[in-house]
Amino acid sequence: MKNFHLLLVCVTLIFQSCKSDDCGDCFTPPHSFIFEIVDKASGENVFTNGTYESVDIEITDRLNDNEGIE
């Protein structure tokens, strides 16, 4: 009985595998992560009002020895 269950599981896995690419043109990538940095007092975007430039910001990966991220 134990061998029958093992055989049944193996056969089920074999027939459920898929070798064709069904995604094709219907693949939807994840949404972009968009955020704004605003001045607390005025509520203005600090990049559009000239307070900061985009080159003044550095994003680092804290889990990977503070390696820079583009």
What is the value of pTM for the model shown? 0.40
Per-residue pLDDT of the chain in tens (70 residues, 90 and over written 9):
777 888 888 777 777 756 665 656 677 777 888 888 898 999 999 889 888 888 888 888 878 777 777 6
pLDDT at position 68:
72
Tell the burial category of 63 from Cβ atoms under 10 Å away from its Cβ (0-12, 13-18, 19+): exposed
Q: What is the pLDDT of residue 19?
A: 61
Q: Residue 5 has which token pair?
A: 């269950």
What pLDDT is stored for residue 21 in this prediction? Answer: 59
